[in-house]
Each structure stands twice: as C-alpha cells, then as structure tokens.
Amino acid sequence: MIKLVNVSKSYLKGVNILQAINLYIEAGEFVSLVGQSGSGKTSLVKILIGEEKINDGRVIIGDWDITKISRREVPYLRRQIGVIFQDFKLLPQKTLWENVAFALEVCGQPQVKINKIVSSVMRLVGLEDKKDRYPHEVSGGEQQRTAIARSLVHQPKILLADEPTGNLDSINANEIIDLLIRINKFGTTVILVTHNREIVNQLKKRVIAIEKGKVVSDQEKGKYLL
C-alpha cells in the first residue's frame, strides 16, 4: 500500500513541482502514472525511493511513514522497493549476473542464497544463458530485463518502473511490459511511469494522470487522456 497525503514539493520558492497530491494505491495494483515531461512524475518516483524529501504532507509505504526518512534508513527502503529506469543503470564493469548479485551482496546475504535467488530471477527474465556477458555485450531489452531481475532480488512489494521502455523498440518494449504484468500477477504492486500512450491504452489498468504537479485524473481501467 502506498499513501500520499497532501504531498507538495518545490525546489525553488514559488516553483511547485508537486502540489497537494493525494493518492492511495492498493497492494498488488498495476498503476500507470502518465504525464508530459516536467509534469512531476519523476519527482514522485524520487520521493517514493527516498531520494527527495517533500516540503509538505505525508508519504506512507506499507506501515512505514517515510516522510522524514533519515539517510541511514534509505538503503533499507531501497531494498523494499524495486526500481527500474529508462537508462537501465547497470554497472558497466560487472557481468549481468554480477549486476543482479550485487544488490544482494551489499546487503550481506550469504553466497549460497545469492546464487539461488539470482539463478531464479535470471530464469524469470529469460537471461540465464547470457549471465556472463557485460551490459555493453547485450541489447537494450536484455539490459532492461537485467535491471528488472536486479529489482526483484529482494522480493519487493512495490516495483517502480520509470519510463522503462523509453530506450527500447516496440518489440522489446512489449516484452518488458509483459514481464511487468507477470511480476504484478505474483502480487507485486507495479507503478509504471510513462508517456507512451500506446502501452497505457493496451494495458487497460488504472491510470493516474499528472499535469503541472497536480493529479488531473485517476481512472480504473483508464486510457491515456492527456
């Protein structure tokens, strides 16, 4: 469950990025967050992963109020929320396997457990045969699947996908969306941040539209209306 109560965010005095946002997302929902560039979508993602602090309101994830989360607590929040980005954000000097394993290694998980989890998520995203390749040796779609595998290693309750198909062709983009739908079916809340009209319309899931930092529409089984 994600709950935003009157959330406002501004970087400069008088320039509001988000204005009094009220949102409630149930556990296990698949939500598309749409809006044009600069509408405040990415700021919302940054707030949800503890990268940005809000000026007003409250942000609650599950039973954790992260409104005033400390720097020390941020790593623990990140282990509970999977995030993927348009530019994949893989470590270029590590193989696909090492990139996925890294997220567990830095949490002090034992090697046996790491091998088991990484094998299983690599299988889920269909990359077990390319695990020893470096990011630059595989396609964009495969890099994004690696990023998804990495985001799943902690079995997060929430997966935030910030423009995950932005750098991909339509075939790879559809594969990534299919993968997100499969992950959602396992019970993970998926928040898809995008401005890809076609994808949103195909999904027929809840659509929240943001414009100039405000929620302008929130529809069950909605369409991209902006």
Task: Give me the least distance between CB of 145 and another protein, in Å please.
Answer: 16
Q: Which is nearer to another protein, 16 or 146 (CB)?
A: 146
Of 101 and 215, the one with the shorter C-beta distance to another protein is 101
| Residue 107 or 124 with smaller CB distance to another protein | 107
List interacting residues with another protein (CB under 8 A).
49, 71-72, 74-79, 83, 89-94, 102-103, 105-108, 110, 150, 154
171: Cα separation from own chain's centroid:
20
Name the minimum Å distance from CB 183 to another protein: 17
End-to-end CA separation in angstroms for the chain: 26
Smallest distance from another protein to CB 87, Å: 9
Least spacing, CB of residue 75 vs another protein, in Å: 5
Nearer to another protein (CB atom), residue 41 or residue 150 = 150
Say if residues 21 and 44 touch (Cβ distance below 8 Å).
Answer: yes
Query: Which residues have a Cβ under 8 Å from the Cβ of 156 and sit 6 or more positions away?
Result: 79, 80, 81, 82, 188
Spatial contact of 168 and 140, defined as CB atoms under 8 Å apart: yes
Q: Please answer whether residues 40 and 209 qualify as being in contact, where contact means their C-beta atoms are separated by less than 8 angstroms.
A: no
Min dist. Cβ of residue 159 to another protein (A): 13
Nearer to another protein, 27 or 91 (CB): 91
Phi-psi region of 85 (alpha: psi -120 to 50; beta: other; left: phi over 0): beta
Give me 48's structure tokens: 């949800």
Query: Is the Cβ of residue 33 or residue 103 nearer to another protein in the bound state?
Result: 103
Coil, strand or helix at 77: helix
Question: Taking the complex as a whole, how short is the minimal distance between the CB of residue 103 and another protein, in angstroms?
Answer: 4
- Which CB atom, from 69 or from 74, has the smaller least distance to another protein? 74
Kind of pairing, strands 30-34 and 81-85? unpaired
Strands (E), the chain: 2-12, 15-25, 30-34, 56-61, 64-65, 81-85, 158-162, 189-194, 206-211, 214-219
Provide the minimum distance between the beta carbon of 50 and another protein in the complex, in angstroms, as a whole number. Answer: 10
Q: Is the dihedral of CA 134, 105, 61, 183 positive or negative?
A: positive
